[in-house]
Amino acid sequence: MKKPARRWLAFAAASAAVSGALVGCTPASDSVKVALLLPDAKTARYEAFDRPLFENRIAELGDFSVLYSNADQNSVQQQSQAEAALASGAAVLVLDPVDSAAAVSIVSAANAQGIPVIAYDRIVDGGDLSYYISFNNEEIGALQANALVDELDARGLEGGGILMVNGSPTDGNAGQFKEGAEAVLNDSGYRVLSSFDTPEWSPENAQNWVAGQVTQFSGDIVAVYAANDGTAGGAIAALKAANVLPMPLVTGQDAELAAIQRIVSGDQYMTIYKDIRAEAVLAAEVAAKLANGKAVIGDQKINGIESSLLDAEIVTVDTILTTVVADGLFTVDQICTPEYAAACAAAGIA
């Protein structure tokens, strides 16, 4: 199945907006070091997609070597990893911060050495950033909440209660998702029973919190706004352990394979598909250009920072084939393992 033209066009526009985008740079006599600093391993996308996509693209652009580190949700460790990258001669830092406030010290250290920093996926709360690449996070929160409200209305569940399982309080993106979702839910007619900012985006923390809310609000929960697929998985585990029936609608984000399978089986209602390939490829192109000492201009400015914000979209059981499968993120065989074969057949996924 061919990739929908709209997605490739959107990505092409974002890439073209980077002034003088690289078509292919002349390799330096020695390998140029670029640091890729990712925040955690609990979110499946980072090791499965962001890292290999970034590494593959930058290898195509010249003689670059990637200094890769994953902070495992430890901001102190990420600080040490950044310092090590700078000491090793990194020409650019591509930083996805564990803690958006704490990461200012990383940016400041790089600034002091004249090393450009790209804020990748999450913004940093200060310092002189050279570029910011992400998605429209408030819009994503609104997409999640609107999808939830529309389906609750369609099922005639008006007036029911919603639990909000938000992201990590140290992640600036999480606050934006929450703001976007709250703007919709507060005007929806549905009650927000309780709200929780999940430390470290941990599925276990989400599960434990939802388990307590199920006891407190027995019979009142019609939906769970979960900010990403990891917290959605934790919430669903708690709901199943408590034998909550019918299963409340649960949102998600990141289009992880496990989440797509939960959507097929009916345990999760939706997720948000963000084309991580476009994000990682664009980050590599910007990093290569900055490493070569060239200026980069984005398609917009955010807080004075040259930026690119990419689009995202909703995935439900009815759109799996036209989104994550059509774009080649997952194959039908990967989704429809024997455990999910019957559910896939019932959903027309083949």
State the fold for domain 137-273+314-347. Answer: Rossmann fold (3.40.50)
Q: Is residue 10 scored above 70 in pLDDT?
A: no
How many residues would you count in the chain? Answer: 350
User: What pLDDT does residue 1 have?
Assistant: 34
Tokens 């389906």, residue? 151
pLDDT digits (tens, 9 = 90+) for 132-172: 999 999 999 999 999 999 999 999 998 899 999 999 999 98
Say whether 281 sits in a helix, a strand or coil.
helix
Q: Return the structure tokens found at 166.
A: 């938000």
Confidence of residue 232 (pLDDT cuts 50, 70, 90): very high
The predicted pLDDT at position 264 comes to: 98
pLDDT reading at 17 higher than 50: no
Tens-place pLDDT, residues 286-327: 999 999 999 999 999 999 999 999 989 999 999 999 999 999
- Predicted confidence (pLDDT) per residue in 18-68, tens digit: 444 333 343 344 899 999 999 998 888 999 999 999 999 999 999 999 999
DSSP assigned state of 176 = H
What pLDDT is stored for residue 42 in this prediction? 84
The reply to whether 5-136+275-311 and 137-273+314-347 are identical in fold is yes
What pLDDT does residue 30 have? 81
Confidence (pLDDT) at 79: 98
**Would you list the domain boundaries of the chain?**
5-136+275-311, 137-273+314-347
Q: What percent of the chain has pLDDT over 70?
A: 92
Q: CATH second-level architecture of 5-136+275-311? A: 3-Layer(aba) Sandwich (3.40)
pLDDT given at position 5? 40
- pLDDT of the residue at 336: 98
Alpha helices in the chain (DSSP H): 5-17, 45, 51-60, 75-87, 104-112, 137-154, 172-185, 203-216, 229-241, 257-265, 276-291, 332-335, 341-347
Structure-block tokens of residue 317: 């059981």
Query: pLDDT value at position 184?
Result: 98
Residue 156 has a pLDDT of: 96
Closest by alpha carbon to 248, among 175, 165, 172?
165
Q: Helix 203-216 and helix 229-241: axis angle, to 10°?
A: 40
The residue with greater pLDDT, 16 or 158, is 158
CA 154, 155, 156, 162 torsion: positive or negative?
Answer: negative
Q: What is the pTM of this model?
A: 0.84
Whether 188 contacts 149, CB under 8 Å:
yes
